[in-house]
A and B are shown apart, each in its own frame.
Chain A
Amino acid sequence: MFEIGIVDYGMGNLRSVYSALEAIGATPVICQEAQDLSQVDKIILPGVGAIGDCIHNLKNRGFVEVLNHQVLEKGKPILGICLGMQVMAKCSYEGGHYECLDWFNAEVVRLEPSDLNLRVPHVGWNNINYSSGSILFANLPASPDVYFVHSYHMQCSDSQDEIANCEYGGNVTVAVQKRNIMAVQFHPEKSQDYGLTILENFLRWQS
């Protein structure tokens, strides 16, 4: 068994996630085949790009069934990042209507900040407010700045799933957790030392 696997389904920047995990002392493996996921203890689902391609690639490469089995049935810890978080919702309205993994009772909708001076995409460093008991955010200062780049966001129907939010012309859910399933909208691999701490927390997480 390997410590941690990164799902490679043709959606973006795996190298940064890989390097960030190496920097905190982990030995990640890239999982290009769905079956590779049975060989790892923890899974990271990254993702950059459009949700349509994302769900299409996950399905085409056979990841959907294997992810459902490993995560929902076997309870393997998983961390979704950015699009990897959004794909865990029930559906997304980015460029149409796409059925997603349905792990969270949530929909992905376009950011519509009430303050018209705020721009979309939401790009840059924004401070987040996290639930005090959340292990993913252990060892961080209150309200740390992390790096975002996104135009769509997850809206949860079950408010207890939300473990962090930020202010962007309204409250935006930026991290969710349901048992072994965790996800963040921002990029820990791009958030300097705070981001690395979050990845360390995920590595240490025990169910």
Chain B
Amino acid sequence: MLKRRLIPKLQMKSSQFGSSSKMVLVTTREYQKTIEIGNPVSQAKIYEAQAADELIFLDIDAPAHQRNITLDVIKRAAEEIFMPITIGGGIRSIEDFRLLLSHGADKVSINTIAIENPDLIGQASSIFGAQCVVVSIDYKKESDGTYRVWGQSGKLYSNWDVISWAIEVERRGAGEILLTSIDRDGMRQGLDINITKQVVQSVSIPVITSGGCGLAAHFVEGFIDGQASAVAAGTYFSFKDENIMQTRAQIKNAGVPIRIHT
């Protein structure tokens, strides 16, 4: 039986060290406030040891720095970690896909460029296969109760509502959707189950939901009520007292089919 997946999200930004810059791991809140918490590759190794199912690396200030420091993280992670790796942030072209995939990424997640140039979804899908094209959908709940898609880490308003956009990206060849609530990011108050379930029921590709996990029970809600294939979390796993293995056991006990590695 296919297991539901738990995916630590490693959010990275560049940090200046003298004349050179390198990637550091951060946590975010509502896509704004960031706190530096460590080194992405060492943290990824800890997650691997804790039997996380996949890893998502997100370069949250990609336009602001040189691409090679991101490639360096992916290259080092792929040399040391034998599990699926997705990378997102600042992808603009087929060439970016090629570069990231050749440095060891298994999937590439696109967000802003998918909104600006949706043809890229189909192009990437036909060249590299749908399985490595993840469309990341960031959304905010509007005051009238509708869910709106935002690009550029919550700074670029789009005309798409979440459900129509999810259907559109599947039609264009996306292999997976990474759905994130901007309002709930880093708040640890729970996932948006309502929109998760609506998206899951509107598409036939796997949906990863994220934004808001603070308790093991929030993952359980995402899987059972939201019907998501996977739940991703950044802040949740960054706090060292939240051990993935304990979280997994609690989720399994709630009746969700999940990988328990002994």
Say if the beta carbon of B259 comes within 8 Å of chain A.
yes
- A-chain residues with CB within 8 Å of residue B261 when the two chains form the complex: 145, 192
In the complex, which of the residues A121, A125, A147, A149 has the most CB atoms of chain B within 10 Å of its own CB atom? A125
Known interface pairs A121-B206, A123-B206, A124-B2. Does A16 touch B82 (Cβ–Cβ under 8 Å)? yes
For the complex formed, measure the closest distance between the CB of A20 and the CB atoms of chain B, giving whole angstroms: 5
Binary CB contact string for chain A from 177 to 200 against chain B (1 if under 8 A, 0 otherwise): 000000000010111110110000
Interface residues of A in 130-148 (CB under 8 A from B): 145, 147-148
Contact B229 A15 (CB under 8 A): no
Contact B103 A49 (CB under 8 A): no
In the complex, which of the residues A127, A189, A192, A193 has the most CB atoms of chain B within 10 Å of its own CB atom? A192
> How distant is the Cα of A101 from the Cα of B78 in the complex, in angstroms?
30
> How distant is the Cα of A192 from the Cα of B101 in the complex, in angstroms?
19
In the complex, which of the residues A145, A191, A193 has the most CB atoms of chain B within 10 Å of its own CB atom? A145
Contact B53 A123 (CB under 8 A): no
For the complex formed, measure the closest distance between the CB of B206 and the CB atoms of chain A, giving whole angstroms: 5
Contact A20 B82 (CB under 8 A): yes
> How distant is the Cα of A168 from the Cα of B229 in the complex, in angstroms?
14
- B-chain residues with CB within 8 Å of residue A151 when the two chains form the complex: 130-131, 175
Contact A121 B205 (CB under 8 A): yes
Contact B51 A192 (CB under 8 A): yes
Q: Which of these, B54, B129, B205, contacts A119 with CB under 8 Å?
A: B205
Known interface pairs A150-B131, A151-B131. Does A124 touch B206 (Cβ–Cβ under 8 Å)? yes
Contact A126 B2 (CB under 8 A): yes
> How distant is the Cα of A127 from the Cα of B106 in the complex, in angstroms?
21
For the complex formed, measure the closest distance between the CB of A172 and the CB atoms of chain B, giving whole angstroms: 11
Contact B104 A16 (CB under 8 A): yes
Binary CB contact string for chain A from 20 to 46 against chain B (1 if under 8 A, 0 otherwise): 100100000000000000000000000
For the complex formed, measure the closest distance between the CB of A87 and the CB atoms of chain B, giving whole angstroms: 13
- B-chain residues with CB within 8 Å of residue A149 when the two chains form the complex: 84, 106-107, 131-132
Say if the beta carbon of B249 comes within 8 Å of chain A.
no
Nearest B residue to A54, CB-CB: B129
Say if the beta carbon of A12 comes within 8 Å of chain B.
yes
Say if the beta carbon of B171 comes within 8 Å of chain A.
no
Contact A190 B75 (CB under 8 A): no
- A-chain residues with CB within 8 Å of residue B103 when the two chains form the complex: 15
Contact B82 A192 (CB under 8 A): yes
Q: Which of these, A48, A119, A123, A189, contacts B82 with CB under 8 Å?
A: A189
Nearest B residue to A196, CB-CB: B82
Q: Which of these, A122, A187, A196, contacts B2 with CB under 8 Å?
A: A122
Taking A19-B104, A119-B205, A121-B176 as given, write out 20 further A-B residue pairs in contact, using a Cβ cutoff of 8 Å, ordered by the A residue number: A15-B75, A15-B78, A15-B103, A16-B106, A19-B78, A48-B128, A49-B127, A121-B131, A122-B2, A124-B2, A124-B206, A124-B230, A125-B259, A127-B1, A145-B261, A151-B130, A189-B82, A190-B83, A191-B82, A192-B83
Residues of A whose CB lies within 8 Å of any CB of B are 12-13, 15-16, 19-20, 23, 48-50, 53, 118-127, 145, 147-151, 167-168, 187, 189-193, 195-196
What are 29 pairs between A and B in contact, CB < 8 Å?
A: A12-B101, A13-B102, A13-B104, A15-B75, A19-B78, A49-B127, A50-B126, A119-B205, A119-B206, A121-B205, A121-B206, A122-B2, A124-B3, A124-B4, A125-B3, A125-B259, A127-B1, A147-B83, A148-B2, A149-B84, A149-B131, A149-B132, A167-B1, A187-B84, A190-B82, A190-B83, A192-B83, A192-B261, A193-B82
